[in-house]
C-alpha cells in the first residue's frame, strides 16, 4: 500500500500457471550441487534456483572461512542459522548470530568471516538469480553440505583466483574484489 492516501489501489496480477513451486531439500536432494569454494575454506554451498527472482544457498563455513573483500551487482541477504559470522560492510564490522538477518545492497564492498569456534550455517538469498552458474564454474564439486573442499596448494590457489577473475566479467557480475576500492 502506498503512503499516499489519494493513490489508486493496486491490483494483484493474475497467477502465472507457467511458474512452478520450488522446493529444495537442502540435506537430502542429490540433484542439488554442493560446491566448495577453493581457498575460502567454505565447505559447501548448495544452490536452489528460484527463477526469475532469486538464488538461495545454504552455506556452511568453517572457522576463519572468509571470501575476500568483494562487491557485485546483486542484493545479497544472509540469515544466520547456526553459529556466527563477522561481517564487514563498507569497512564497518558487525556480528551476525543465528536468527539474525544481514542484507548487503548491490555494489557495496563487503566480506564475512566465521570468527567463532564452531561451523556457521547461513541461508543466503541473492536477487536477481544467476550467480550460481559462476560458482559452479569456479568452485569444486564436493560430496555433501559439510564436506570441505580440498586444501589448495599455493599454485592451485593462484589458479583459482585467476579463473575467478577471468570468468567474473563474462557473467556480467563482479566478484572477489575485482571492483573494490
Domains of the chain: 34-144 (2.60.120.10)
**What was the pLDDT predicted at 79?**
93
Q: Are 164 and 37 in contact (CB under 8 A)?
A: no
Per-residue pLDDT at 96: 93
Q: pLDDT 10s digit of each residue in the chain, 181 long?
A: 456 778 777 888 898 898 777 777 766 677 777 787 765 555 455 555 555 677 777 777 777 777 778 888 888 899 999 899 999 999 999 999 999 999 999 889 998 888 788 888 888 888 877 777 777 788 888 877 777 777 788 898 888 878 877 777 655 555 544 443 3
Candidates 177, 56, 37; CA nearest to 110 is 177
Residue 43 to residues 9, 31, 103, Cα–Cα distance (Å)? 48, 18, 22
pLDDT at residue number 180: 36
Reported for 96-103, long-range contacts at CB under 8 A and 24+ positions apart, including other chains, are 101/77, 102/77, 102/78, 103/75, 103/76, 103/77, 103/78
Helix (H) or strand (E) holding 154: helix 154-167
Of 59, 113, 55, 110, the closest CA to residue 82 belongs to: 59
Q: 164: number of CA atoms within 13 Å, CB side?
A: 23
Find out whether 127 and 26 touch, Cβ atoms under 8 Å: no
> What phi, psi does 134 have (nearest 5°)?
-65, -50
Amino acid at each position: 500500500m502506498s503512503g499516499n492516501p489519494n493513490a489508486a489501489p493496486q491490483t494483484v496480477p493474475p497467477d502465472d500457471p507457467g511458474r512452478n513451486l520450488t522446493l529444495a531439500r537442502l540435506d537430502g536432494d542429490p540433484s542439488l550441487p554442493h560446491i566448495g569454494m577453493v581457498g575460502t575454506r567454505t565447505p559447501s554451498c548448495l544452490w536452489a534456483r528460484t527463477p526469475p527472482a532469486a538464488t538461495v544457498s545454504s552455506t556452511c563455513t568453517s572457522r576463519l572461512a572468509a571470501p575476500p573483500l568483494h562487491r557485485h551487482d546483486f542484493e545479497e541477504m544472509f540469515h544466520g542459522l547456526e553459529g556466527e559470522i563477522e561481517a564487514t560492510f563498507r569497512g564497518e564490522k558487525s556480528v551476525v548470530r543465528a536468527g539474525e538477518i544481514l542484507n548487503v545492497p548491490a555494489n557495496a564492498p563487503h566480506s564475512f568471516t566465521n570468527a567463532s569456534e564452531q561451523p556457521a550455517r547461513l541461508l543466503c538469498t541473492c536477487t536477481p538469480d544467476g550467480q550460481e552458474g559462476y560458482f559452479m564454474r569456479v568452485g569444486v564439486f564436493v560430496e555433501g553440505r559439510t564436506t570441505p573442499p580440498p586444501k589448495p596448494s599455493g599454485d592451485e590457489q593462484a589458479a583459482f583466483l585467476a579463473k575467478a577473475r577471468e570468468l567474473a566479467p563474462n557473467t556480467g557480475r563482479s566478484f572477489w574484489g575485482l571492483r573494490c576500492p
